[in-house]
């Protein structure tokens, strides 16, 4: 199918080959590509290579290429624990989209058909992978810079919501991040909340 991407697992061997990857020059775009290309010594919060090798919470990263084997984008998925919508809610296991980026040369491509847009394909793949673990990790969450309007629109198209979720402001960069989540398995989420409440009660 024209414009269809295929995904390969990112490994340490790929690190040198992605050093020319660029999402753009805006702060939220540079933040994504800097993490993707960061050297291992920076640690998992600032380096994709370090993140996949993290002994405590290793991430999974995929490279997305087109039919000509050009690198279009990447995505990174990890696991964490989130409080749900209330401050005193119990911690819930969550799949988390750590980063997701498209090379500047391919952003907004292809123009038609709309359902084959590269951003949609990458998100479809991520949600599909997370659904496979939905009974263990009933929510799929992410943090996005509040000024990244285009990304927020994309996440909303995939039914991510921010209502009731509290974001944060980075004390160093002064950047505000919006917290968004998609419920993958409502029954599993409710059962987990009830089970936790019974234990705490």
pLDDT on residue 10: 97
The model carries a pTM of 0.90
Predicted confidence at residue 91, as pLDDT, reads 87
Range of the domain at 143: 6-200
Q: Where are the alpha helices (DSSP H) in the chain?
A: 27-37, 48-52, 118-131, 149-157, 186-200
Q: Residue 88 is encoded by which pair of tokens? A: 């005193």
Asked whether residue 157 is assigned to any structural domain, the reply reads yes
Residue 124 resides in a domain: yes
| DSSP single-letter state for residue 115 | G
Domain assignment of residue 1, yes or no: no
Domain assignment of residue 57, yes or no:
yes
pLDDT at 170: 84
Q: Could you give the number of structural domains in the chain?
A: 1
Is pLDDT at 100 greater than 50 in this prediction?
Answer: yes
* Residue 48 CA: distances (Å) to CA of 43, 71, 182: 9, 16, 24
* CATH (domain of 18): 3.40.630.30
Helices (H), 38-163: 48-52, 118-131, 149-157
User: Is the predicted pLDDT of residue 15 greater than 90, yes or no?
Assistant: yes
Range with lowest mean pLDDT among 79-83, 104-108, 171-175 = 171-175
In a domain, 192, yes or no: yes
Q: Is the pLDDT of residue 196 over 80?
A: no
Name the band, by pLDDT with cuts 50, 70 and 90, for residue 89: confident
- pLDDT above 90 as % of the chain: 73
132-177 pLDDT, tens per residue? 999 999 999 999 998 899 999 999 999 999 988 888 888 888 889 9
Share of the chain above pLDDT 70, in %: 94
pLDDT at 201: 47
């Amino acid at each position: 199918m024209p414009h269809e991407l295929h995904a390969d697992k990112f490994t340490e061997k790929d690190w040198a080959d992605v050093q020319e990857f660029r999402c753009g020059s805006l702060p939220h775009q540079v933040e994504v590509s800097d993490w993707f290309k960061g050297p291992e010594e920076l640690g998992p919060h600032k380096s994709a290579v370090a993140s996949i090798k993290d002994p405590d919470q290793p991430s999974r990263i995929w490279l997305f290429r087109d039919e000509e084997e050009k690198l279009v984008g990447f995505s990174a998925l990890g696991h964490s624990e989130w409080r749900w919508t209330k401050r005193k809610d119990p911690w819930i296991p969550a799949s988390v989209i750590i980063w997701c980026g498209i090379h500047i040369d391919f952003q907004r491509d292809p123009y038609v058909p709309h359902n084959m847009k590269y951003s949609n394909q990458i998100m479809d793949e991520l949600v599909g992978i997370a659904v496979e673990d939905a009974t263990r990790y009933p929510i799929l969450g992410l943090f996005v810079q509040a000024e990244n309007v285009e990304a927020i629109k994309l996440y909303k198209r995939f039914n991510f919501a921010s209502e009731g979720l509290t974001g944060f402001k980075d004390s160093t960069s002064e950047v505000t991040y919006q917290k968004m989540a998609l419920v993958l398995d409502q029954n599993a989420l409710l059962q987990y909340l009830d089970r936790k409440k019974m234990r705490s009660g």
